[in-house]
Structure 1
Amino acid sequence: MSDPTPSLNPPLPIAARKPTWRFLLAHPAHAIALGFGSGLSPVAPGTVGTLWAWVAFLVLQPHMTDLRWALLIGVGSLVGWWACTVTARHLAVADPGAIVWDEVLAFWLVLWLVMPAGLWAQAVAFLLFRAFDAAKPGPVAWADKLFKLKRGMPIGWAQGFGILLDDFVAALCALFVIALWRFV
């Protein structure tokens, strides 16, 4: 079966690629999935992508309503599913560390739901989200494994969805801890 959108999904390279600025600029999906460059960090790209998300949130927040945040995160998830799938295919890696759009969307969700919050509360939200995302305890590990690529299978839409899913579960875990903290 041929791909109905060959211009959006050029053939995979034979070997895994390392993302570069040239790679990021080669396709709109790459720019989105790589967090507009934050995923190119040689050290802790997920953390750098989450920091970028925090700054972007603070810049956008004065102009946003709850409906706008819901739409941005919802549409961003659909676009991100496409962008993460395409970028993973082009890198020939099912869940590359350089893809940080999942961190961006998930942390926007956390910040949106904890606001209004001071800088310290936002920092706690950041640390909790990063801890759940990096350590992948319990439900986060389950979500991370749910759409893992089977040996010999091509990278597909399920893997793109899986890239996003574990970060949203990490966000829900962070929000649960924050809710418990506020309740107690």
Structure 2
Amino acid sequence: MKFFAKSPALAPLSLRNPIHFLALGFGSGLAKVAPGTFGTLAAVPVVLLMSLLPQAGYVVVTFLACVLGIYICSKTSRDLGVHDHKAIVWDEVAGYMITMFAAPMTWQWLLAGFVLFRFFDIVKPWPIRWLDRNVDGGLGVMADDILAGIFSFVAMQLLILFVI
């Protein structure tokens, strides 16, 4: 059993195309099972590198990841002919970036942020579920994960406030 999906539906994509490479979360979205979870996992080293930036730099990079993500996800969706294909995981990368803003960069907090983000991304409480079902295109792909990231960020900050 191979770890990465080799589906004919993914044939129009190439990891050599920088837009596809990013949309597929550096290839992590090609995992046969739980591509969103693997996409979030691929975001961990990105967040660790971003933690070296001043907070303003972290915010700028995260904002760019979200705004450019709309185009990246839209273009890749069009190339696949499928809205929000499960292999498109750039939205998870951006959502985790939001979650981890101003959080301590220890393995415990990285794990807490990971679990919180996956929880909100999978359960999709209102209004995340509404965005997921009612907003189309690249904005629709990104919007629910951006909001899941915001919910996770708030939960993380509350945890940090009461634990540290």
TM-score band by shorter chain is 0.7 to 0.9
Structure 1 position 170, deviation (Å):
0.7
CA distance in 1, matches of 2:98, 2:90: 12
| Per-residue Cα deviation, 1:68-121 (whole angstroms, up to 9, x for no partner) | 1122112222221111001001111111111111110110111123x2243212
- Correspondence 1:107 to 2:85: no
Counterpart Cα distance in 1 of 2:161 and 2:18: 43
Q: Among 109, 113, 117, which residue is 1:129 paired with?
A: 117
Q: Which runs of 5+ in 1 are unaligned?
A: 1-15, 149-158
Question: Shift of the alpha carbon at 1:177?
Answer: 2.3
Is the alpha carbon distance of 1:65 and 1:25 closer, same or farther for their aligned partners in structure 2, counting shifts above 3 Å? Answer: same
Check the 8 A contact 1:140/1:170 in 2, yes or no. Answer: yes
Cα-Cα RMSD: 2.1
| Aligned counterpart, 1:40 | 30
Does the residue aligned with 1:39 lie in a helix, a strand or coil?
helix
Distance in 1, Cα, partners of 2:65 & 2:49: 17
Partner of 2:42: 52
CA deviations over 1:43-79 (Å, ceiling 9, x no partner): 11110010110122213423x1112112211222222
CA change 1:73–1:17 in 2 (3 A) is farther
Match of 2:3 in 1: none
Shifted more, 68-77 versus 97-106: the winner is 68-77
Q: 1:40 and 1:144 mapped to 2: Cα distance?
A: 21
Match of 2:73 among 60, 84, 100: 84
Whether the aligned pair in 2 keeps the contact of 1:80 and 1:102 (CA below 8 Å) is: yes
Equivalent residue for 1:27? 17
Q: Distance in 2 between matches of 1:93 and 1:81?
A: 15
Unaligned runs of 5+ in 2: 1-6
Secondary structure at the counterpart of residue 98 of structure 1? coil
Q: CA deviation at 1:178?
A: 2.6
- Normalised to the residue count of structure 1, the TM-score between the two structures is 0.76
8 Å CA contact retained: 2:22, 2:72:
yes
Please say which of residues 34-43 and 171-180 is displaced more in the overlay: 171-180
Assess, with a 3 A threshold, how the Cα gap between structure 1 residues 179 and 61 changes in structure 2: closer, same or farther: closer
Match of 1:24, SS state, is: coil
8 Å contact from structure 1 (residues 106, 167) kept in 2:
yes
Structure whose CA Rg is larger: 1
Partner of 1:122: helix, strand, or coil? helix
Aligned length: 156
Match of 2:107 among 119, 130, 138: 119
Structure 1 partner of 2:138: 160
